[in-house]
Amino acid sequence: MKKLLIALLALWALPAFAADLPTKVRPFAALTTTPLMSPCSVAACTGFHVDVNIYGSGTGLNVLDLAQLNAFGTTPSLGVGYQYYDGQYWLGARADVGYDMMNGTGLNNLSGVQVVELGGNLFKALGVAPPQTTGFLSMLTSAIPTADIGVKERGKATGMAVGATLHYFLASAPVEIRGGYLNVNYGTTAVDPGTNVTIENIAWAGLAYHF
């Protein structure tokens, strides 16, 4: 009898107990995801990249005379690289391999470039506001400059390469436009048998896709 009374009391109290329970289930915290690729910008860009470039090798830096600019060949190339850029300082390295297209000089062979890039946002580093420009000039003033030093191979010749690059980031995309100049000195070694070319002046441009 005593057990029956306890059971009845429990059944009588159950609805009141249930009424005190929260009526809504607390939602789970929203899951946060990290995008697979973070767009690079003038503010920061650190990581690996793959490149496609084209080099024009000539006797001098004369962009108004394409025959002179490409006197020693036009070289499409593919490359990889890595850089650290925190919005102020830039430290990077890249390497690529290309094929010198025939351009009337007999220089038609594989080539390679390996350089270290040092530079950064000069306006920010110096605490100076960048100039207000429009059109093509705004692209130049917002580009990140680097000084480049390394080596270049052409056929059996290897030379010291020095130059500079401008790095321009597309808005909201992991793509960068690059353009620069390299001077390569092969010493006394000709870049191809039967020629006396020992110095190259190279103007180049390319696209880099950042991961």
Q: Tokens 């090798």 map to which residue? A: 57
Amino acid at 119: G
pLDDT tens, 15-64? 554 455 555 545 444 444 444 445 688 888 999 999 999 998 876 555 55
Residue 109 contacts residue 100 (beta carbons within 8 Å):
yes
Predicted pLDDT of residue 192: 67
Q: For strands 157-169 and 175-185, give the pairing.
A: antiparallel
3-state helix, strand, coil in the chain (%, to 5): 15, 45, 40
Predicted confidence band of residue 136 (pLDDT cuts 50, 70, 90): low
Q: Is the dihedral of CA 34, 35, 41, 44 positive or negative?
A: positive
Q: Could you tell me the two tokens for 44?
A: 């920061």
Minimal CA–CA distance to 191: which of 155, 167, 160?
155
Predicted pLDDT of residue 172: 73
Minimal CA–CA distance to 113: which of 180, 176, 48?
180
pLDDT tens, 165-191? 999 998 878 899 999 999 999 888 777
Amino acid at 179: G
pLDDT tens, 84-120? 999 889 999 999 999 887 654 555 578 899 999 999 8
**List of domains in the chain:** 47-210 (2.40.160.20)
d(CA 171, CA 152): 32
pLDDT at 154 over 80: yes
Q: For the CA atoms of 121, 122, 127, 131, what is the dihedral angle to 10 degrees?
A: -90
Q: Could you tell me the two tokens for 29?
A: 């915290």
Q: Tokens 């080539």 map to which residue? A: 111
Predicted pLDDT of residue 54: 94
